[in-house]
Amino acid sequence: MRPSVHFQWIKDKSYKDVWDIQTLLHRQLISEKLEKRNSHPPIQALENSPLHQLIFCEHAPVFTLGKSGSMEHLLLSDKELESGHIEFFKINRGGDITYHGPGQITGYPILDLEDFYTDVHRYVRNLEEVIIRLLKEYGLQGIRIPEYTGVWLGPDTRSDSFRKICAIGVHLSRWVSMHGFAFNVNTELSYFDKIVPCGIVDENKKVTSLAAELGTMLSMEDVGLSLKRIFSDVFECSFTDEMPTYL
């Protein structure tokens, strides 16, 4: 049986509001799992399967710093953040600092990986695989760089540099995931000049977007629907139209 995932595209909510929603869903999924496990007799895994979630967001400008990141990689003062209308949060995902904003699809899978596979590295590689397959549909060859998480392009005929198009940072508790990926579609790339993206100090490694690579703006809805379809293929899950009422 393919795991069933509830999909929601959240718009017009602050980063903190979406983080709170993630946290609530994450805790609920853990609680449901423990309740089933501790029941007598235990409820079988395929009965009353957990409420897996996939959330897509397009945030207002915000920098987030992962638990292994350095404050030195934020290149703006508090006053400059305020004057630029940019939020900043220290959060509980892995990784360093990154940017979320308009024109970027930020994806938050909240999955009980015990219904998929209990392998963190495979989970991250599969998130990368979703983006790599999407890029292929647009005629671009996404690649992995072994020492860096995420999806990259190049070097190629467009540039001599490696260009990061998708950042990935996750958090797991009792095999339930939260946070996820940030895929640059029509993202304003100048915001990345205000940080050291992902803490990578290397002139040969830059940040890019789908629009920058293709030379044209794209429909966020069309890209999102393609991402959702490919996610279903890679994670071998199905999506339900039923949505939680509080999203």
pLDDT digits (tens, 9 = 90+) for 86-111: 999 999 998 899 999 999 999 999 99
* Element counts in the chain: helices (H) and strands (E): 5, 12
Euclidean distance between CA atoms 161 and 88, whole angstroms: 28
Q: Is position 237 annotated as part of the catalytic site?
A: no
Check whether 244 has a pLDDT greater than 60.
Answer: no
The overall average pLDDT reported for the chain is 92
Distance, CA of 65 to chain centre: 14
Q: What local confidence, expressed as pLDDT, does residue 104 receive?
A: 98
Q: 52-83, pLDDT tens digit by residue?
A: 999 999 999 999 999 989 999 999 999 999 99
Confidence label for 46 from pLDDT (cuts 50, 70 and 90): very low
**Token code pair at residue 26:** 């994450």
Bridge partners of residue 162, in order along the sequence: 205
Identify the active-site residue in 57, 166, 198, 237. 198
pLDDT > 70: percent of the chain: 92
Interaxial angle between packed helices 220-235 and 120-137, expressed in degrees from 0 to 180 and rounded to the nearest 10: 130
Euclidean distance between CA atoms 59 and 148, whole angstroms: 24
Q: Residue 118 gets which letter from DSSP?
A: S
Q: What is the CA radius of gyration of the chain?
A: 18
Euclidean distance between CA atoms 168 and 149, whole angstroms: 6
Global pTM exceeds 0.85: yes
Confidence label for 41 from pLDDT (cuts 50, 70 and 90): low
Class of domain 4-240: alpha beta
Report the b/e string of 129-147 with b at 16+ CB within 10 A: bbbbbbbeeeebebeeeee
Euclidean distance between CA atoms 171 and 22, whole angstroms: 11
**Token code pair at residue 223:** 């890209």
Q: What local confidence, expressed as pLDDT, does residue 192 receive?
A: 97
